[in-house]
Amino acid sequence: MSTAAEINDIEEGLAFRPKFDAAGLVTCVATDVATGEVLMVAHMNDEALRKTIASGEAWYFSRSRNALWRKGETSGQTQRVVEMRLDCDQDAIWIRVEQRGAACHTGRRSCFYRKVEAGEAGAQLSFVNADRLFDPEKVYPK
């Protein structure tokens, strides 16, 4: 447990002390600087965070590939970071980005291309802004 003074330092201080989880990651939300749309939610480890801050280009850590990854290194769909923010308890990052092309590996501008609504038999999904900007079959090697 943290003391009140420690919590105050984290929440009100100006020292950057990201709180990584047990896997060494923080959550990162990327939004489109022009529209405010959430483009993706991903993770950064310490190195991804440092590289993002130093370069102004978004770097992430892929849990499925267990690898550091510069956004767009395969697809060309890079993210230029206009602003980075940190949340109250320093375990989440928000970056406002200029997205080149599409953020989602399925080829959509945003990963959030389906809407969730209450239905008679539970929640229902429907597509929204789900047009593909690229064909993932052509962009990613098999």
Among 24, 73, 76, 125, binds its own copies (CB under 8 A): 125
Strand 79-86 vs strand 38-44: parallel, antiparallel, or unpaired?
unpaired
Output the furthest CA–CA distance in the chain (Å, rounded).
53
Shortest distance, CB of residue 20 to its own copies, whole angstroms? 14
Distance CA 96, CA 37 (A): 10
Which segments of 34-76 are extended strands (E)?
A: 38-44, 59-62, 67-70
Binds its own copies by CB under 8 A, chosen from 124, 131, 135, 140:
124
**Alpha carbon distances (Å) from 55 to 24, 47, 49, 50, 76:** 21, 12, 10, 8, 16
Q: Which residues of 2-38 are buried (b: 16+ CB within 10 A; e: fewer)?
A: eeeeeeeebeeeeeeeeeeeeeebbebbbbbbeeeee
115 binds its own copies (CB under 8 A): yes
Nearer to its own copies (CB atom), residue 76 or residue 124: 124
Contact between 37 and its own copies per CB under 8 A: yes
120 binds its own copies (CB under 8 A): no
Q: Contact between 9 and its own copies (CB under 8 A)?
A: no
Binding pattern for the stretch 67-106 against its own copies, x by CB under 8 A and - elsewhere: ----------------xxxxxxx--xxx---------xxx
What is the nearest approach in angstroms of its own copies to the Cβ of residue 117? Answer: 7
Residues that bind its own copies (CB under 8 A): 11-16, 27, 29, 31, 35-38, 40-41, 50, 53-54, 83-89, 92-94, 104-106, 108, 111-118, 122-128
